[in-house]
Homo-oligomer: A and B are copies of this chain.
Amino acid sequence: MKDLCRLEAMLKDKGYKLTEQRRLIIEVFNDSPGHYTAQEIFDLVKEKSKSINFSTIYRNLELLSILGIINKLYIESGINHYELCGQVHHHHIICKRCGETREIDICPCEVIGEEQLKSMGFKITDHKFEIYGYCSKCSLLKE
């Protein structure tokens, strides 16, 4: 809840107005951590008995991204997902047969030196590390 206030303060600080819609979008992220698509946000806001337009959602996701409040992440299917910044960081190991997805907390960026990352000439915002293979059950079954 205080988080919510902090985020709202951040908006005001930069001269953005605190609208009902904006509050509802932030609330989605705040209510339960995780990553959401624009569609999911649309549905969740609607559940709160408030209709919202997709263009409003996209415009605000863009804004929150730029302000560094949320992070746009790409998850394989071509649909963008968004998550609050500063959550517990993790990656995934995925079974190619059954699709089981498990979180792993090894992060390559912790292991790779800062300098090496900086030397790439990019302003790095995030990264994806996914390991694919067969889980214990499936590696028995497979072939």
> Which A residues fall within an 8 A CB radius of B?
66, 72-76, 78, 80, 93, 95-96, 102, 104, 106, 108-109, 111-112, 116-117, 120-136, 139, 142-143
Q: Which of chain B's residues have a CB closer than 8 A to the CB of A130? A: 127-129
CB distance from A106 to the nearest CB of B (A): 6
CB atoms of B122 and A131 under 8 A apart: yes
A133-B128 in contact given A72-B76, A74-B76, A74-B78 (Cβ < 8 Å) = no
Q: A95-B122, A108-B111, A122-B133 are in contact. List 18 more A-B contacts (CB 8 A).
A: A66-B142, A66-B143, A74-B74, A74-B75, A78-B80, A93-B120, A93-B122, A106-B116, A111-B111, A117-B131, A122-B135, A122-B136, A122-B139, A123-B139, A124-B133, A125-B134, A128-B130, A129-B130
CB distance from A35 to the nearest CB of B (A): 14
Closest to A131 in B: B127
CB distance from A62 to the nearest CB of B (A): 11
A-B contact pairs, 20 of them (CB 8 A): A66-B143, A73-B76, A74-B75, A78-B78, A93-B122, A108-B129, A109-B131, A111-B111, A117-B131, A120-B131, A121-B135, A122-B135, A124-B132, A125-B132, A126-B131, A126-B132, A126-B133, A127-B131, A127-B132, A128-B130
